[in-house]
Chain A
Amino acid sequence: MAANPSQTRGPSLALIGLSRHYSEVVAVDNVSQHIAPGEFVALVGASGSGKSTLLKMVNRLIEPTSGRIKIGGDDVTDREPHELRRSIGYIFQNIGLFPHMDIAHNIAIGSRIGNRPTLPPGEIADLLESVDLPADMATRMPGQLSGGQQQRVGVARALSTRPGLMLMDEPFGALDPITRENLADNYRKLHDRLGLTTIMVTHDMAEALLIADRIWVMSHGRIMADASPAQLLGGGCGEDAESLVAVPRGQAERLLARRDAL
């Protein structure tokens, strides 16, 4: 299911013996995983399973207690954290648009802080278009936008510096179901078209099953299952995976039963 490597701008990612402790609590416990260029990985698990911590260690918002991370073969500690982050797209649930800057300035922030030429208006319009927003949105302030529109801008901002790797921390979790579905679909298309490598943290197994190439099931800081959506739906991936898959499967079965009962 991965995109054709020739079109891929996304790097590979390697997590090597990665751990993060908070005094007594072990948030991430000796995780070693590999992601191929262009893969879309969903990281699912209950709250407190360590999935956000794991994700944030990749762009060094959280430093690991031990272990290493390599992006495209290069250790993340080779570069200053801010330089590393400029090469990675980061999208999270609370969006964090800068309220004192209009949408164009929000989107162009990456090139502004990176001493690159300012984005021409045409490029901002293209980025807005890629997330299904009209070009005249550029002059609005974030407060004037709906939650869904704001997160679309969040995606455009993350893409503005042409990153290969995208980190998404429950990106659509706070949105209504229709907006959410819409945005998820739209993002998956962008992922394929741009050949990105994506890790998306979500607590919604249905979303993961529908959007991702691979799903990591996380519990108590460990990866309990690493499988494709088909494998997970087929079962035999362990207890944690089963209980997570059981929810959307049960819902789907009940919905079908109701329809048949009519």
Chain B
Amino acid sequence: MRAWFDDMAPAFQRVPDLLAQHLQLSFAALALALLIALPLAVWAVRNRHVARFALGFASLVQTIPALALLALFYPLLLALTAIFGDWITPLGFLPSLLALTLYALLPILRNAVTGLNGIDPAIVEAADGVGMTRAQKLRLIEAPLAAPTIMAGIRTAAVWTIGAATLSTTVGQPSLGDLIFAGLQTQNWSLVLAGCLTSAGLAIIVDILLGTIENAIANRRKKRGWIAAALLAGGLIFALVPAAQADNNTITIGAKRFGEQYILAQLIGQRLERAGYSVRYREGLGSAVAFQAAAGDGIDIYVDYAGTIWTNEMDRTDRLPRPAMIAAITKWARETHGMKVAGPLGFENTYAFAVRADDAQKLGLDTLDDLARVSPDFAFGTDIEFLERPEWTMVKQAYPMRFRKARPYEVTFMYKALSSGQVDVISAFSSDGRIAANNFTVLADPKGAVPSYDALLLIAPGYADDRKLLDTIQPLLGSIPVKKMREANYMVDRPEDKKSPASAARWLNTQIEKLTKESQ
């Protein structure tokens, strides 16, 4: 019990801040959805074409997975920034708000239409008969009679929105999802639990309060309804207070959705804090999201990989020697986005095709050419995005592979899939500690099909010329050998005796300082 508590306490440390952000986002989305759905419902009840279109659209939205809906707003808003300029941000709050609002529309709209249509026609006839105007009929008769049904819809929407808001982490909006995604990636179940419990608890509390209001309306118990409404309002005020105190001089450190990124973010953050900066983390970002967030000053500093920028952002498939490639990226980032590439960290995290050691021995697998030979009998496990990435096309062009089947996994489960025999080869990451720990064999790439993936420290335009910041992070450049990175990664990723990314980062820092001293 004691051990469990020690485990959970730090996990809950970040909850208040994330809870506040989560609440703000959910409430804002719900409020916006109400503003749209209620008038639309009134219109839909009076016009069946509107009803068909509005309900059809809202239902269609529901069929899109929430994660995809969030991701879709990114390119859309990005296109809009070209027209509207700076006041549209394609990442963070705005896309989350819009996606969640769309998601909340259906239950509110459907219940409101059902509630309004369900009113006894005799009552409507009486309202007309006594001479009510349309507005009076809505205010005095239709709204109060449909209110219980509408409130039920709002409750459904509230629970959905609070749940789906955890996904906004992926587009760079801090939420309780930060804990869940970070926990899933590093298999830190305390974090996952902290995120899930808090978001579920929030959903339940809001549902109970809204339920109380619903009941109060149905039974005309005004006092109870007002108390519940006051508690909801109080919660919203609590959520808004930290936002009002947000500090503009805080450095925001970004991290993508895997262990190494969490460790490096902490490593940078700890160094900045020692230098007197206050920092905050924005973790769990999608790959493309992270770069765009930095380009738009949504995050101030993060680590990306040369090959990722080369293929994804610069759309290049040609091969250059490592130093030339880094120079080209540095120049491009500066010229097109005003970003500063501070430099490489010293290790590479490239795609490495890994197989089980016994297969490698038995079938004589050393290179990707060998893999191509046996590929018709092999099942291929990848991370979520690899099959869609240009690197996969480049590899296929160089080595004609056709696998028996290919299946994407979350990274943690990808390694498990290989060790358990569900798949026979995976697109592993060369800096991942789990390759060595599982005794996997990495196949060589004699044709050099996979570009180089040097870890690069990237700085957003806002801090690109900030001397103090650059001096502070300077010692990290070229200082992390791949072997140390692997060890740090394994501390976080291993199934037993896990360390948090923060303590792995502290360990890595002492190693860096040791190595620096030795070299001096």
A262 at interface, CB cutoff 8 A:
no
A81: chain B residues within 8 A (beta carbon): 131
A228 at interface, CB cutoff 8 A:
no
- Count the A-B residue pairs with Cβ separation under 8 angstroms: how many? 66
B132 at interface, CB cutoff 8 A:
yes
Q: Interface size on A (CB < 8 Å)? A: 25
A191 at interface, CB cutoff 8 A:
no
Q: Is the CB of A96 within 8 A of B122?
A: yes
Can you name the residue of chain A whose Cβ is closest to the Cβ of B125?
Answer: A96
Main secondary structure, interface of B, reads: helix
A90 to B132, CA, bound (A): 13
A85: chain B residues within 8 A (beta carbon): 128-131
- Known A-B contacts A94-B122, A98-B123; A59 and B129 likewise in contact (beta carbons under 8 Å): yes
Q: Is the CB of B131 within 8 A of A92?
A: no
Q: Chain A 63-105, CB within 8 Å of chain B: the 1/0 string?
A: 0000000000000000001111111001010111111100000
Least distance between A40 CB and chain B CB atoms (Å): 20
Q: Is the CB of B131 within 8 A of A86?
A: yes
A86: chain B residues within 8 A (beta carbon): 130-131
Instruction: Give the segment of B137-145, B328-336, B491-499 that binds chain A.
Output: B137-145
Instruction: Give the segment of A28-36, A107-115, A199-207, A235-243 that binds chain B.
Output: A107-115
Q: Is the CB of A110 within 8 A of B126?
A: no
Contact partner, A94, options B125, B130, B136, B144, Cβ 8 Å: B125
A98: chain B residues within 8 A (beta carbon): 123, 126-127, 140-141
Q: Is the CB of B129 within 8 A of A82?
A: no
Q: Chain B 104-126, CB within 8 Å of chain A: the 1/0 string?
A: 00000000000000001111111
A112 to B127, CA, bound (A): 12
A157: chain B residues within 8 A (beta carbon): 130
| Range class of the B interface residue count | 20 to 34
The residue in B131, B133, B140, B144 that gathers the most chain A C-beta atoms within 10 A of its C-beta is B131
A97: chain B residues within 8 A (beta carbon): 123, 126
A247 at interface, CB cutoff 8 A:
no
Q: Is the CB of A100 within 8 A of B131?
A: no
A252 at interface, CB cutoff 8 A:
no
A90 to B127, CA, bound (A): 10
Q: Is the CB of B132 within 8 A of A82?
A: yes
A261 to B127, CA, bound (A): 52
A210 at interface, CB cutoff 8 A:
no
Q: Is the CB of A113 within 8 A of B122?
A: no
- Known A-B contacts A113-B136, A113-B140; A99 and B130 likewise in contact (beta carbons under 8 Å): no
B405 at interface, CB cutoff 8 A:
no
A and B contact pairs by CB, cutoff 8 A, 14 listed: A61-B125, A82-B131, A92-B125, A92-B126, A94-B122, A95-B126, A96-B122, A98-B126, A98-B127, A99-B123, A99-B145, A109-B130, A110-B130, A158-B130
Rank and list the top 6 A-B pairs by shortest CB-CB distance, nearest first. A96-B126, A94-B122, A86-B131, A85-B131, A90-B129, A96-B122
